A and B are shown apart, each in its own frame.
Chain A
Amino acid sequence: MHQRGYGRDTELNIRMALTSFFLLLIYVAFAGLLFWAGISPIFILIMGAILAAFQYFGSDKLVLLTTGARIVGPDEEPKLHGMVERLSAMADMPRPKKLAIIDTHVPNAFATGRNPKNSIVTVTTGLMSRLDEKEQEAVLAHELSHIKNRDVMIITWAGLIVIVSGYLLQVLFWISLFGGFGGGRRESGSNSMLIALALYVGTIIIYFMSQLLILSLSRYREYAADRSGAMLTGAPLQLASALNKISDDMYRIPEKDLRQVEHANAFFIINAIKGNASAKLLSSHPPVEKRVERLREMHRQMEAGF
Chain B
Amino acid sequence: MGLLSVLFGRHKIKQVNRDGYFSIATAADSLHSYGDLEHTGKAGLVFNPVESTFFENLNSEVNELLEVTSKSTDSEYEIVDDTYGTSWVVISDHDFDDLVSVLYLIGETITEHGFGDRLVATVFGFNYKDNQAYLIYNIKRGKFYPMVLSGGKERDNRSEMHIGTLLEKENLPVEKSLEQWYALWGIPF
Which residues of A approach B to under 8 Å, CB–CB? 134-135, 237-238, 240-241, 244-245, 250-262, 265, 270, 289, 292, 296, 299-300, 303-304, 306
Contact = CB atoms under 8 A, between A and B. Distances in A.
Which applies to chain B's interface (DSSP): helix, strand, loop or mixed? mixed
Contacts of A255: 155, 183
A254 B158 contact: no
B75 to A, nearest CB: 24
Interface stretch (B18-26, B49-57, B96-104, B163-171): B163-171
Nearest to A134: B158
Interface of B: 34, 46, 48, 82, 84-86, 120-121, 136, 138, 140, 155, 157-158, 160-162, 164-166, 168-169, 177-179, 181-185
Given A237-B158, A251-B179, A257 B84 contact: yes
Given A256-B183, A259-B120, A241 B84 contact: no
B119 to A, nearest CB: 10
Given A241-B158, A251-B179, A262-B48, 14 more contacts: A135-B158, A237-B161, A240-B161, A241-B157, A250-B179, A251-B177, A252-B178, A253-B155, A257-B84, A257-B183, A261-B182, A270-B179, A300-B165, A303-B169
Contacts of B184: 257-259
B153 to A, nearest CB: 11
A240 B161 CA distance: 9
Given A253-B155, A257-B183, A261-B182, A237 B84 contact: no
A135 B161 CA distance: 14
A245 to B, nearest CB: 7
Contacts of A289: 177-179
Contacts of B34: 306
Contacts of B136: 258
